[in-house]
Amino acid sequence: MEERIEINIEDIRESNLADIPEACRGCVYWEYPEAFEQGKKDAVKTNAFEVKKNEWFAQTMKEFGTCGKIAYYEGAPVAYAQYAPSTRLPKIGSYGSKPAGKLEEGVVFLSCLYVSDETMRRQGVGERLLQNIIEDLRRRGFKAIETFACRSGTDNPSGPMMFYVKNGFHLKDKSDPELPLMRLYLESIVP
């Protein structure tokens, strides 16, 4: 039987914010879309947005609780995920597939799932990170998790549709056929 690599998954908290992969640490695409677009025009260095990102984490943790995870392999961060109520991620509204579920309905949105170390892909890291989030949200009593997946691509925003289908998600809306809204009901998962 193939051996599973040993990874350690930790909640994001103030003390490990610096372990967020560089590409995501200063990315405010979901959280502050106007600043993100303006930053692109003005060629603002992404590290200028790190403070905003850290503030976002601090406020979301206060309002909602754990909203991100980092996977470590041999002590080094290799993957990252972020999830929150849709109201904390205003970029969601600009996507064609809709509507994203609301927190009042028990729905949480997965905005980023990213195995940042590409040499670590296809070894089960993404799946274990996703399952860790699912377990976290189920334990906290939420009803469903949603994300936008790529139908034909493999990258942004959260990875390919087949990855989510393999992990039990169903198609909720495909108004934008390339970036469908996927949903997983957490209640159907037996603890």
Ligand X SMILES: CC(C)(COP(=O)(O)OP(=O)(O)OC[C@H]1O[C@@H](n2cnc3c(N)ncnc32)[C@H](O)[C@@H]1OP(=O)(O)O)[C@@H](O)C(=O)NCCC(=O)NCCS
Q: How far is the CB of 68 from ligand X (least distance, A)?
A: 13
Question: In this complex, which beta carbon is closest to ligand X, that of residue 7 or of residue 108?
Answer: 7
Q: How far is the CB of 118 from ligand X (least distance, A)?
A: 8
Say how far apart CA 37 and CA 138 lie, in whole Å. 34
CB atoms within 10 A of CB 187: 11
Nearest to 113 by CA among 90, 140, 146, 151: 146
Say how far apart CA 88 and CA 109 lie, in whole Å. 9
Residue 123 as a binder of ligand X (CB under 6 A): the answer is yes
Q: How far is the CB of 113 from ligand X (least distance, A)?
A: 5
Say how far apart CA 125 and CA 113 lie, in whole Å. 10
From residue 148 to residue 177, the character string flagging contacts with ligand X as x (rule: CB under 6 A) and all else as - is ------xxxxxxx-xx--x-----------
β-partners of residue 148 are 181
Question: In this complex, which beta carbon is closest to ligand X, that of residue 104 or of residue 118?
Answer: 118
Nearest to 149 by CA among 113, 102, 185, 120: 113
**Do 57 and 12 touch, CB atoms closer than 8 A?**
yes
Residue 122 as a binder of ligand X (CB under 6 A): the answer is yes
Residue 82 as a binder of ligand X (CB under 6 A): the answer is no
Question: In this complex, which beta carbon is closest to ligand X, that of residue 20 or of residue 107?
Answer: 20
Q: How far is the CB of 114 from ligand X (least distance, A)?
A: 4
Binding-site ranges for ligand X (CB under 6 A): 112-115, 121-127, 154-160, 162-163, 166
